Amino acid sequence: MVTLAVVGAGSRGTSYARHAVESGQARVVAVADPAAGRRARYPEAAHYADWRELAALPRQADAVIIATQDREHVEPAVRFADLGYDILLEKPMAVSEDDCREIVAAAERSGAIFAVCHVLRYTPYTRALKSLIDAGRIGEIVSIQHLEPVGWWHQAHSYVRGNWRRTDESTFMLLAKSCHDLDWLVHLTGEQVTKVSSFGGLKHFRAENRPEGATDRCLDCPVEADCAYSAKRIYLPLAGQDVWPLSVLTDDLSEQGVLDALRTGLYGRCVYACDNDVVDHQVVNMEFESGATAAFTMTAFTPAAHRQTRVFGTRGSIDGDGERLVVHDFVTGRSETVDTRATGDATASGGHGGGDEGLVDAFLSAVTTRDRSPILSSPSESLHSHLIAWAAERSRLNGETVTLEGTPQ
């Protein structure tokens, strides 16, 4: 039985901890979070209002789940590594290149089992797709098209109204949301990225697009019923349910509690009257070591759904929708469908299509056996994925193609 400390008991930390406990492989013995209501989710654990209180003690658990806000990752990650904890660290690792490098150095110095939460690597869908590619079913990869459909309401929740809306308070959109996808493309190809270019911006969620007559809050807005981003429509149907994204708004999940949160909190604001500045659409073009290319699109203006991917090879191609893979064989002219559907959907509340559970199981296995092989990305591999995101953001802002350091010219 692995003992766990949870540092940051919000939706992600709680999700990972829940999977660990429900698997029968772990129990939570300590939790650190400034919110008393979140600490109360773990009645049998020792409670700390600040992670530093826990870190001031000798090691209290085998491993720690670090799921604080993005800008608050580096200090606890380094400290708990130095204390000898194995570490499951929510992505992104940190919000600066130097901080990411410091975390990698601490993980390597300590010898800890260390995993960044690149949950897309651990889905049944990804395992099946990777197996087909590695088996040579489509020959050598030449190019990839990959779409992340963020979802109109998810963008409004997290990146317009919510915690990741501002670059200066969190980080830029590509790192916060899509380092998942950049890492996933590296995982599929088995290659590092050498060059990056990118375009995108904040097109829609701006004050000049505010409908005539709209007020600052949805609850008293006369045009709310005709708005795609109505907070009433997004959150009120979830009243009474302890589910994401409602659990982010308030600990009082009653209808009145939700109404109070929408009346006074971040999530009841008009999406055209927020202080957001992160992009709502972006494209990233990548070149790999072999000369293969990938084109990645992240956009808010979709249903919240699984990623969609097309992989083009020299002997065939694969079309994937997050659940099914259709393999086209150029030699035989035949197509084969591989069904990989798992319990849950593509969202955080659905466990990212089995990725959350797969990640947690892999981490607990590595902690128990001291065999790192279930962890599908090393600290340095995770760092490379993050460096792609910074290169893409530099390209977007400066209008240039960026060559990653340490890669072939």
pLDDT along the chain (409 residues), means of 10: 96 94 97 95 96 98 96 97 98 96 96 95 95 98 98 97 95 95 97 98 98 97 97 97 90 95 97 98 98 98 94 98 96 96 54 78 97 95 96 98 74
**Structure tokens that stand for 271 in this block:** 């999406």
> Angle at which helices 379-398 and 173-189 pack, to 10 degrees?
120
pLDDT for the residue numbered 71 = 93
Distance between CA atoms of residues 18 and 34, nearest Å: 19
Residue with tokens 């947690």: 360
Strand-strand pairing, 86-89 and 114-116: parallel
Distance between CA atoms of residues 170 and 152, nearest Å: 20
3-state secondary structure of 143: strand
Contact 277, 202 (CB under 8 A): yes
pTM for the whole thing?
Answer: 0.92
Residue with tokens 């927020």: 274
3-state secondary structure of 366: helix
Identify the H or E element spanning 341.
none
The CA-based angle 88-387-13, given to 5 degrees, is 20
Measured CA distances, 373 to 116, 225, 262, 349 (Å): 14, 52, 45, 27
Q: Which of 402, 200, 186, 391 is nearest to 294 (CA)?
A: 186
pLDDT for the residue numbered 408 = 45
3-state secondary structure of 207: helix
Residues 6+ apart with CB under 8 A from 149: 299, 302, 303, 304, 305, 306, 307, 308
Distance between CA atoms of residues 159 and 279, nearest Å: 8
Distance between CA atoms of residues 167 and 156, nearest Å: 15
pLDDT for the residue numbered 392 = 98
pLDDT for the residue numbered 351 = 46
pLDDT for the residue numbered 355 = 80
pLDDT for the residue numbered 342 = 62
pLDDT for the residue numbered 353 = 57
Peptide bond into 43 cis (omega under 30): no
Q: For residue 265, count CB atoms less than 10 angstroms from its CB and return exposed for 0-12, middle for 13-18, buried for 19 or more.
A: middle
Distance between CA atoms of residues 102 and 244, nearest Å: 32
Q: What are phi and psi of 73, to 5 degrees?
A: -90, -40
